[in-house]
A = this chain, B = another copy of it.
């Protein structure tokens, strides 16, 4: 795994791909300039770990590009993925001592990193930023709670169908019920860890969806949703 270089931002935030979608969206030029001063851009290789479960929470970040996972382990060592983080999402645990989960890049990723203490101070001094962060956290809590329904009340087929639809949605490739094709940022094992299933069950469900014409699997890491409306029905 190569050690990627860490450098101060060379581009201004104003050219940032997520300038208007991330929590920085409401800041004025002066504020953005200040934030620029404490942030740095960092590239992560696929599979690279950025934070560790239980470790001191040193960093927070905005995701510029790529997909990352948040995960935790049960006492007997089984992994459960707690969430996936996409471009413009906020990453890390501000105002917290330790990170309650590990964070790993699933694809190559670009993130805009801050020392947590720097960020905490900046946020407390800029209520507009803190407000954005609050709205985002509330939205994330809503999403997480919806995921609980999936984990607690859905069967394997419903879980896999829901997963594929949400993935298309969050990757921004979802057309209005036309077929969509995209690269899966997760391995079968990781999908299982998101859904609270085993790898075999995920594999069987995907095969079944393929055999029944709902999806195609052109390669291991690619999927095509042939009939999103059908998947919606299967998702329950």
A142 (CB) vs chain B CBs: closest residue: B100
Indicate if the CB atoms of A75 and B236 lie closer than 8 Å.
yes
CB proximity to B under 8 Å, residues A117-147:
124, 127, 130-131, 133-135, 137-138, 140-142, 144-147
Q: This chain: how many copies in the complex? A: 2
Cα A148 to Cα B195 with chains together (Å):
10
Contact in complex: A144, B141 (CB < 8 Å): yes
For residue A220, which residues in chain B have a CB less than 8 angstroms away from its CB? none
Q: Do the beta carbons of A137 and B141 come within 8 Å of each other?
A: yes
Residues of chain B lying within 8 A (CB to CB) of residue A75: 235-236
A114 at the interface (CB under 8 A from B): no
A142 vs B83: C-alpha distance when bound (angstroms): 11
Tier of interface size on chain A: 35 or more
Stretch in A34-42, A90-98, A174-182, A199-207 with 4+ CB within 8 Å of B: A90-98
Say yes or no for A172: interface residue by CB 8 A criterion. no
**Could you write out 9 A-B pairs with CB less than 8 Å apart?**
A82-B145, A82-B148, A93-B138, A124-B131, A137-B138, A141-B141, A141-B144, A151-B196, A153-B196
